[in-house]
Amino acid sequence: MIQSLLKFLGIYFLSLFKFIAGPVLGSAAGYGVIGSILVTVAGMMTSVFLFTLIGSKFKNYLKLRFNKKKPIFSKKNRTLVKIWKKYGEIGIAIITPLILTPIGGTLIMVSFGAKKKHIYFNMLLSSFFWATLFCLTIDRILKIPFFQNLLM
């Protein structure tokens, strides 16, 4: 009982910071597809809720703490602004599990002034979509005999 709780909490906490950890570790821990999806979405959405609520304060803290003379219009910033202008909140939510971390995607949406309920909704849809896709893909890959032999 305690081992399964620790396994769950480990996967959950890693999903707070890196989305792909949920599907990979969920499958490795023996969770089914549904279990892996749920723990991954729970981890991502927890970080989305936390950083939506404290995002502005956290951003200001980082700005004060690490206020170095960096160019405002770096290549990364220009790319994010282009995505925001072209696709809006949905675009940022879609790329969050793939490229950004749940924290990074949330802070970007907060920085651009997205409404909290839109952040929650878009990130929830995105996390369910990507978690389902990743978990099903990993489940199918692990059923290939070559990979089954590697795991044994």
Q: What is the pLDDT of residues 91-138, one digit of tens each?
A: 889 988 888 889 888 988 888 888 999 999 999 999 999 999 999 998
Q: How far apart are the first and last CA of the chain?
A: 24
- What is residue 71's predicted lDDT score, i.e. its pLDDT? 60
Say how far apart CA 72 and CA 58 lie, in whole Å: 19
User: Best-predicted range by mean pLDDT among 8-22, 78-92, 135-149?
Assistant: 8-22
At 49, the pLDDT band (50, 70, 90 cuts) reads very high
Higher-pLDDT residue of 66, 96:
96
- What is residue 81's predicted lDDT score, i.e. its pLDDT? 79
Q: How many domains does the chain have?
A: 1
Residue 69 pLDDT exceeds 80: no
- What is residue 67's predicted lDDT score, i.e. its pLDDT? 59
Q: Which two tokens stand for residue 110?
A: 């907060």
User: Please, which contacts does 113-116 make with residues 24 or more away whose CB atoms are closer than 8 Å?
Assistant: 114/89, 116/52, 116/53
Q: Whole-model pTM?
A: 0.80
Residue-number span of the structural domain to which 81 is assigned = 2-151
Residues 6 or more apart in contact with residue 7 via CB below 8 angstroms: 29
Q: Taking a C-beta distance cutoff of 8 angstroms, is the pair 126, 96 a contact?
A: yes
- What is residue 65's predicted lDDT score, i.e. its pLDDT? 57
Higher-pLDDT residue of 145, 28:
28
- What is residue 7's predicted lDDT score, i.e. its pLDDT? 87
Residue 40 pLDDT exceeds 90: yes
Instruction: For 66-151, list the strands marked E by DSSP.
Output: none
- What is residue 112's predicted lDDT score, i.e. its pLDDT? 83
